[in-house]
């Protein structure tokens, strides 16, 4: 296996396509989890807190003792802290850095594809990877920086590993292991790159010395990672049981699996419509939700088998396994926090595009004038679609108002749209969306708290207090604690407020300044 020589003009072309496609992202605002992970995350405001990022999850709000959440992504939070120390809370610089790193990722993919394909093929498919609308969410969404980061470190690890194919040295394994470790610390999905290295070992028959060294390196990486995650941070996997799919039994998730795969394949071929949130499950064996997706999945399996028999190519098998592994992680066998998400296709896309490229080169399809026109049209079409999607991400109200049309059953999207409408003093509309969110997810806490705020604004204090108490029971939401105290004070129930603060609220949130201030005033 030898790498084809990179072409500087190709690298510049990828860079230019990336800039032209994503330049209108730079003036977009923070949306969704950006507020909690960046704007309201007091921990990222000091670099002295970086050691704390390895001791907890990604959210720090309300004055809890540690960072909360179920994910272990310390390098993502460290990146936020570094950006905050340099630029403060300006969304422009976060978007700028994310766009830049996504372009770098596409260049790394280009270098990776050069090990398998001709230069022109590598250029075209890496550009498609960069600008495809289904992959655009990783560029647009600051809180999704973990996908950009884990992919960057993982691709660097793969390239270092491939560079040792003929001239193996132990330093290759050392640096590969280091970057795999960084990938895991960025997002749990870094394990996918470990799988890719194992596939390469088995398919391309690396030397026994290299296979043993890489296995040892992977073992050490896992040992350190799980020590940090399970012992230091005390975090095991949990979806939080909020998403509709994560609360469904295994049988329902398996019934939904064909449609999950179909969603990604359909949107890869025709990326319209796209939505930031999707919460649905398949509960019956009907034609459009089960049998059509199942048929498409079977056709894909047959295509994979026929391609392997026809090409007899190790590269074909390698990219099929890459795609299946990436999709398998997001097929809801292990429940996740949404049914599907555009950003989850970022890794599998390399496998699917690589597979298509193996067929392209096996058939020796040459780029004549007509094919050049077709490819240019394809790239321009994908780029324009992504540019339009970038506009949707202008701010929270624009994004949620547009996406709710395609995902009306998304409880979190209903809640977020209600929040944006409330901020615009559209109280009645906001309450309607909060009520719909509560109806869809009565087990959540944020929606109950926000509905309480609506009732409080309407001076329905007793009802509002009930909403806050429900939010506290559901999830110990810090804003619900603050709001309950404030409403008790407004009703002149000072002793009850003081008792609640002392015995309950400040025990859960000892560093919450708002609760501390209210406690001091009541003493």
- Which pTM was predicted? 0.95
Looking at residue 61, its pLDDT comes to 65
Structure token pair of residue 310? 């026809």
Indicate left, alpha or beta for 63 from its phi (over 0: left) and psi (-120 to 50: alpha): left
CA 483/CA 477 separation, integer angstroms: 10
Residue 434 has pLDDT above 70, yes or no: yes
Looking at residue 167, its pLDDT comes to 77
Half-sphere exposure of 269 (CA within 13 A, CB side): 7
Residue 210: band (very low, low, confident or very high) from pLDDT cuts 50, 70, 90: confident
CA 40/CA 26 separation, integer angstroms: 21
**Tens digit of pLDDT for each residue in 349-407?**
999 999 999 998 887 766 677 777 888 899 999 999 999 999 999 999 999 999 999 99
CA 358/CA 22 separation, integer angstroms: 29
Looking at residue 57, its pLDDT comes to 85
DSSP classification of residue 395: S
Residue 31 has pLDDT above 50, yes or no: yes
* Residue 31 φ then ψ, to 5°: -135, 160
Helix (H, G, I), strand (E, B), or coil: what is residue 265? helix
What is the share, in percent, of the chain residues with pLDDT greater than 70?
A: 96
Helix (H, G, I), strand (E, B), or coil: what is residue 59? strand
Residue 219 contacts by C-beta under 8 Å, 6 or more apart in sequence?
none
Looking at residue 1, its pLDDT comes to 61
CA 70/CA 65 separation, integer angstroms: 15
Spell out the domains of the chain, with CATH numbers in brackets: 8-391 (no CATH), 410-522 (1.25.40.10)
**Tens digit of pLDDT for each residue in 11-21?**
999 999 999 99
- The four Cα atoms 51, 57, 62, 63 give a dihedral, to 10 degrees, of -30
Which is nearest to 27 in space by CA: 418, 395, 514, 408? 395
Indicate left, alpha or beta for 169 from its phi (over 0: left) and psi (-120 to 50: alpha): beta
* Residue 372 φ then ψ, to 5°: -65, -45
Give the chain's radius of gyration (CA, Å). Answer: 25
CA 31/CA 35 separation, integer angstroms: 6
**Tens digit of pLDDT for each residue in 70-126?**
889 999 999 999 999 999 999 999 999 999 999 999 999 999 999 999 999 999 999
CA 296/CA 271 separation, integer angstroms: 17
Residue 300 contacts by C-beta under 8 Å, 6 or more apart in sequence?
261, 265
Which is nearest to 357 in space by CA: 201, 154, 151, 124? 124
**Tens digit of pLDDT for each residue in 464-488?**
999 999 999 999 999 999 999 999 9
Helices and strands, counts by H and E, the chain: 25, 0
CA 395/CA 380 separation, integer angstroms: 25
Partners of 206 in the beta sheet?
Answer: none
For 162-177, what is the mean pLDDT? 86
Looking at residue 371, its pLDDT comes to 75
Instruction: Name the average pLDDT for the chain.
Output: 94
Structure token pair of residue 22? 């994503």
DSSP classification of residue 375: H
Half-sphere exposure of 484 (CA within 13 A, CB side): 26
Helix (H, G, I), strand (E, B), or coil: what is residue 68? strand
**Tens digit of pLDDT for each residue in 448-465?**
999 999 999 999 999 999
Contact 430, 456 (CB under 8 A): no
Residue 66: band (very low, low, confident or very high) from pLDDT cuts 50, 70, 90: low
Residue 192 has pLDDT above 80, yes or no: yes
Residue 332 has pLDDT above 80, yes or no: yes
- Kindly report which listed range (185-199, 243-257, 351-365, 490-504) carries the lowest average pLDDT score: 351-365
Residue 204 has pLDDT above 80, yes or no: yes
Structure token pair of residue 351? 């496998």
Residue 239: band (very low, low, confident or very high) from pLDDT cuts 50, 70, 90: very low
Residue 238 has pLDDT above 60, yes or no: no
Residue 173 has pLDDT above 70, yes or no: yes
Residue 338 has pLDDT above 90, yes or no: yes
Helix (H, G, I), strand (E, B), or coil: what is residue 362? helix
Partners of 59 in the beta sheet?
Answer: 68
């Amino acid at each position: 296996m030898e790498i084809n020589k990179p072409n500087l003009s190709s690298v510049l072309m990828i860079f230019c396509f990336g800039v032209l496609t994503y330049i209108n992202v730079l003036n977009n605002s923070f949306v969704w989890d950006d507020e909690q992970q960046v704007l309201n995350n007091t921990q990222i405001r000091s670099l002295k807190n970086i050691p704390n990022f390895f001791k907890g999850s990604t959210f720090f709000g309300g004055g809890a003792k540690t960072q909360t959440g179920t994910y272990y992504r310390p390098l993502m939070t460290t990146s936020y802290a570094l950006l905050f120390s340099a630029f403060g809370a300006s969304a422009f610089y976060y978007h700028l850095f994310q766009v830049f790193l996504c372009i770098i990722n596409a260049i790394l993919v280009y270098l990776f594809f050069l090990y398998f394909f001709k230069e022109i093929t590598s250029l075209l498919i890496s550009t498609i990877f960069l600008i495809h609308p289904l992959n655009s969410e990783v560029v647009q969404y600051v809180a999704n920086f973990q996908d950009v980061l884990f992919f960057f470190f993982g691709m660097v690890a793969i390239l270092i590993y491939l560079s040792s194919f003929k001239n193996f040295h132990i330093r290759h394994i050392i640096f590969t292991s280091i970057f795999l470790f960084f990938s895991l610390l960025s997002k749990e999905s870094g394990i996918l790159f470990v799988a890719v290295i194992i596939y390469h070992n088995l398919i391309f028959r690396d030397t026994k010395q290299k296979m043993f060294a890489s296995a040892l390196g992977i073992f050490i990486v896992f040992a350190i990672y799980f020590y940090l995650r399970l012992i230091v941070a005390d975090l095991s996997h949990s979806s939080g049981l909020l998403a509709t799919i994560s609360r469904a039994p295994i049988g329902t998730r398996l019934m939904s699996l064909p449609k999950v795969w179909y969603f990604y394949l359909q949107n890869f071929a025709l990326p319209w419509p796209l939505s930031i949130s999707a919460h649905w499950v398949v509960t019956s064996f009907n034609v459009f939700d089960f049998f059509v997706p199942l048929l498409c999945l079977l056709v894909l399996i047959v295509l994979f088998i026929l391609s392997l028999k026809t090409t007899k190519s190790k590269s074909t098998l390698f990219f099929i396994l890459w795609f299946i592994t990436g999709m398998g992680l997001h097929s809801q066998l292990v429940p996740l926090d949404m049914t599907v998400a555009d950003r989850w296709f970022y890794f599998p896309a390399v496998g699917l595009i690589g597979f298509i490229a193996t067929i392209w080169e096996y058939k020796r399809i040459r780029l004549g004038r007509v094919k050049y026109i077709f490819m240019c049209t394809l790239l321009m079409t994908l780029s324009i679609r992504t540019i339009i999607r970038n506009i949707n991400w202008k701010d929270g109200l624009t994004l949620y108002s547009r996406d709710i049309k395609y995902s009306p059953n998304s409880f979190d999207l209903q809640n977020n749209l209600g929040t944006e409408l409330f901020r615009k003093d559209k109280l009645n509309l906001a309450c309607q969306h909060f009520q719909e969110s509560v109806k869809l997810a009565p087990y959540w806490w944020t929606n109950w708290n926000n509905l309480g705020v609506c009732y409080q604004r309407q001076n329905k204090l007793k009802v509002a207090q009930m909403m806050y108490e429900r939010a506290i029971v559901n999830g110990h939401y810090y804003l619900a604690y603050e709001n309950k105290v404030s409403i008790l004070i407004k009703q002149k129930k000072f002793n009850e407020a003081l008792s609640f603060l002392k015995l309950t609220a400040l025990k859960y949130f000892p560093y919450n300044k708002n609760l501390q201030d209210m406690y001091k005033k009541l003493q």
